[in-house]
Amino acid sequence: MFWTAAGNWGYQIATLVVFSILANLLTPAAFGLVALASVFVALMKLVEEQGMADALVQREDLEPEHLDTAFWISIGLSIALAVILTTGSALLATLVNEPDVAPILAWLSISLVLSGMSSVQRAILARDLRFASLTLRTLSSVVAGGVVGVAAALAGFGVWALVAQLITLELVGVIALWTASDWRPSLRFSRSHFRELFSFGSSVLGFKLLRFADRRVDNLMVGSLIGATALGFYVVAYRLLNLIINITTSVIGSVAFPVFSRIQRDGEQVKRAYYKAVRQTSVMSFPAFLGLIAVAPEATRLFFGNQWEASVPVMQVLAVAGLAQSVLFVNGVVLKSLGRPGWRLVIMAVSVSLLVGAFAIAVQWGIVAVAWALVVVTYLMAPVWLRATHRLVDLSFRRYVAQIGPPLLASVVMAGGVFALKPFLDTWLLPWRFVALVTAGMMIYVAALWVIARPMATETLDLVRLSIPRREGAADAG
């Protein structure tokens, strides 16, 4: 938990700093063009991996042939897909009505090959719970990419600064992973081992492709139907939403998948772990999302500049969706860990179908309407996710509500307090105003949670203390 938190939070903080600097140096159109190109690059990366990394982590028994087979499949597919993306870049640019996307796609295809070189190493480290190595890889890559991106932006390279940042991030990540991992591939390929991995990985791949559509179809519609500038505003709004989701859920998610996979045969232990994961996710994510609604105007002006004001209402609406997405994330992890990736696949297929229809209707009213469409579909799908998990874990609805109710109530009290405090700080300078609002919000939330659910607050503090590694001598002395 400590190393996963350090890696994810360090990554999010570092990327926010870099993104903030770049947002003040580049135009919304530049971010929109790269976001539009990234839709196709991210899709190719999912196809290249085929769910192999998750299959390697999930298997109880893993042989050397599994690793070798997964590696060479990833390498071969990544090269083939990079060639396809490069040669088809002009056609894709025409389809999305943005000719400037074509050269960006051609250069970003390099990142596909780099990603294919590191997927097996990343899976090995995750399977062995070597999150310290993954953290060092994450931080080194984002820092290197940020330095290159900012330097290129200052030199006047415009949109190419973002391209250079992404390629550098992947390159440094590959070097770091190969340095941290002792495993090296052998020149062998096994069809039987490929079938074993693909039988699990294909369902994971299907789910990830649908989740990709779930997360990116709005970008595609906004960019192609409204324009790169509007997409730039939408992407910046989504940036803080993803920041909160990654900070609050990916810590638990990264640890939960290998842990749930190991205890998958013990139903009672899985149930206890599930409730605890939901509870702690709620404690961390609910105040963050409701707090974002309260301070979105200040956060946008402070981090990105006044030219991004159009992102504020989108950001506030997306935060409403984030409340549900954060806790539903745990259900997806459980279904995958317990060997039911096919269930996730079906649920996500239904969700994507609803989203495509909702976005197609909403896009004609602008980016705020697109954000509201996401909110509606997210809450419509919540009972479906819970029902699927209930079939595996035998959940109690009353006990589930008991996990999320107190954090939600404490977060509402916190948001109300922040809104009430705002008029008294109108004359403060923006940085001090933002810091004061965030600090007050944190204090109100902690106090409210302590009053509403003291055992839950105590458990969270205990987890924080237990997750911080101590020297062996100090631990023994305690």
DSSP code at position 63 = -
Among all chains, which residue has been given the structure tokens 């509402």?
412
pLDDT of residue 417: 95
pLDDT at 326 over 70: yes
DSSP code at position 468 = S
Q: Quick: pLDDT tens for 184-237.
A: 777 776 676 666 666 655 666 666 677 777 777 888 888 888 888 888 888 888
pLDDT of residue 43: 83
The model scores a pTM over 0.75: no
d(CA 223, CA 277): 36
* Cβ-based burial of 268 (10 A; exposed 0-12, middle 13-18, buried ≥19): exposed
pLDDT at 255 over 70: no
311: amino acid identity, one letter: S
pLDDT of residue 153: 92
**H or E stretch covering 241:** helix 228-248
Q: Please report, for residues 17, 49, 222, 326, the alpha-carbon distance to residue 369 in angstroms, rounded to integers and kept in the order given.
A: 29, 34, 11, 21
Select from 388, 455, 382, 450 the least CA-distant residue to 414.
450
Q: Quick: pLDDT tens for 38-76.
A: 888 888 887 776 666 666 666 656 666 767 777 787 888
Confidence class for position 473, pLDDT limits 50, 70, 90: very low
Confidence class for position 315, pLDDT limits 50, 70, 90: very high
Number of CB atoms found within 10 A of residue 123's CB = 24
Q: Quick: pLDDT tens for 398-416.
A: 888 888 899 999 999 999 9
Select from 194, 164, 293 the least CA-distant residue to 241.
293
Confidence class for position 477, pLDDT limits 50, 70, 90: very low
The predicted model gives 374-384 an average pLDDT of: 92
d(CA 158, CA 80): 29
Select from 42, 50, 45, 48 the least CA-distant residue to 202.
50
d(CA 443, CA 105): 46
Greatest mean pLDDT range, 223-227, 273-277, 408-412, 424-428: 408-412
Every domain of the chain and the residues it spans:
1-189, 202-471
d(CA 109, CA 401): 45
C-beta separation of 295 from 418 below 8 A? yes
pLDDT of residue 199: 61
DSSP secondary structure, 181-227, as one string = ------S---HHHHHHHHHHHHHHHHHHHHHHHHHHHHHHHHHHHT-
d(CA 122, CA 115): 10
pLDDT of residue 52: 65
C-beta separation of 291 from 243 below 8 A? no
Confidence class for position 20, pLDDT limits 50, 70, 90: confident
Confidence class for position 169, pLDDT limits 50, 70, 90: confident
Q: Quick: pLDDT tens for 82-137.
A: 999 899 989 988 888 888 899 999 999 988 888 877 777 777 776 666 666 666 66
Q: By mean pLDDT, which of 271-285, 356-370, 441-455, 460-474 is the weakest?
A: 460-474
C-beta separation of 41 from 105 below 8 A? yes
Average model confidence (pLDDT) for the chain?
Answer: 81
Give me the half-sphere count of Cα atoms (radius 13 Å) on the Cβ side of residue 409. Answer: 13
